[in-house]
Amino acid sequence: GEDVEQSLFLSVREGDSSVINCTYTDSSSTYLYWYKQEPGAGLQLLTYIFSNMDMKQDQRLTVLLNKKDKHLSLRIADTQTGDSAIYFCAESIRGGSYIPTFGRGTSLIVHP
Amino acid sequence: SQTIHQWPATLVQPVGSPLSLECTVEGTSNPNLYWYRQAAGRGLQLLFYSVGIGQISSEVPQNLSASRPQDRQFILSSKKLLLSDSGFYLCAWTYFNPGRANTGELFFGEGSRLTVL
């Protein structure tokens, strides 16, 4: 099975909050990331969290990490149509070559 | 500031033809370089990575190859394309300083869409 799992689709109404979930299997993961991919473009890092943190907030983005359950989530407050994109969860391990393992990506569709 | 360029952006090739995708990073030195493939409806598959000139690690067996002739240049090639090679190819780079804190953030190019007919 995959090391990083995400649901493939999420649909929300503009102005609502979006929550994208991710589970990972490697308990030695040190860094966990959220990347955003807009149509036809490369990925851009949205935010990352160290494994010794439980939460990180950055404007409309809130990342929650549950190490016990190996669960990572990304909450986008006041979701806008411009937030429509594919969101990738990724993990990497400190001490290696820092090659992250990516999930399949969650397509977020925001309806007006 | 650092930038990464990939070309061509779009490519349509017949089965059995050769392939060359090029990636160049500017504004940094000794980057780690990566080639990923994103097939439709699937996640990112790491194809190759390189930690230095002439050093290539392959993650999956395939008819693709990679080369790093210069510090900031990474090339993805094939001698004979297959239908299954169609996809969106992404080049990325990161910096890695041994002994220092590294976030592992990858910086991606804009991608090259390959269609094999």
Looking at the complex, does the CB of residue B42 fall below 8 Å from at least one CB of chain A?
A: yes
Among the listed ranges A10-14, A30-34, A79-83, which one has the minimum average pLDDT value? A30-34
Could you write out the DSSP letters of every residue in A30-64?
-EEEEEEE-TTS-EEEEEEEETT-SEEEETTEEEE
Distance of CA A49 to the CA centre of its chain: 10
User: In sequence order, what are the residues at sequence separation of 6 or more whose Cβ sits closer than 8 angstroms to the Cβ of residue B43?
Assistant: A2, A88, A102, A103, A104, A105
Q: In this predicted model, what pLDDT tens digit does every residue of B16-48 receive, in sequence order?
A: 999 999 999 999 889 999 999 998 767 889 999
Read off the DSSP letter of residue A100. P
Quote the percentage of chain A above a pLDDT of 90: 74
pLDDT band per the 50, 70, 90 thresholds, residue A2: low
Determine the Cα–Cα distance for residues A45 and B108; give it in Å rounded to an integer.
9
Q: In this predicted model, what pLDDT tens digit does every residue of B56-93 receive, in sequence order?
A: 998 886 899 999 999 999 999 999 999 999 999 999 99
B100: pLDDT strictly greater than 70: no
A100: pLDDT strictly greater than 90: no
**B60 neighbors B47 (Cβ within 8 angstroms):** yes
Nearest chain A alpha carbon to B31:
A97
The encoded tokens of residue B104 equal 């592992």
- Identify the residue among B23, B48, B55, B103 best suited for mutation to test binding to A, counting A beta carbons within 10 A and taking the highest: B103
A90: pLDDT strictly greater than 60: yes
Chain B closest CA to A88's CA: distance in Å? 8
pLDDT at A95: 54
Residue in A42, A45, A97 nearest the CB of B90: A42
Across the interface, do A42 and B109 touch by the CB < 8 Å criterion? yes
A101: pLDDT strictly greater than 70: yes
pLDDT at A40: 87
Residue in B104, B107, B110 nearest the CB of A41: B110
User: Taking residues A43-49, what's their average pLDDT?
Assistant: 94
Read off the DSSP letter of residue A78. S
Could you write out the DSSP letters of every residue in chain B?
--EEEEE-SEEEE-TT--EEEEEEEES-SS-EEEEEEE-TTS-EEEEEEEEETTEEEESS-SSEEEEEEETTEEEEEESS--GGG-EEEEEEEE---TTS------EE---EEEEE-
Among the listed ranges A58-62, A92-96, B26-30, B91-95, which one has the minimum average pLDDT value? A92-96
**B54 neighbors B68 (Cβ within 8 angstroms):** yes
pLDDT at A27: 75
User: Taking residues A31-46, what's their average pLDDT?
Assistant: 93
pLDDT at A1: 44
Buried b (16+ CB within 10 A) or exposed e, A64-95: bbeeeebebbbbbeebeeebbbbbbbbbbbee
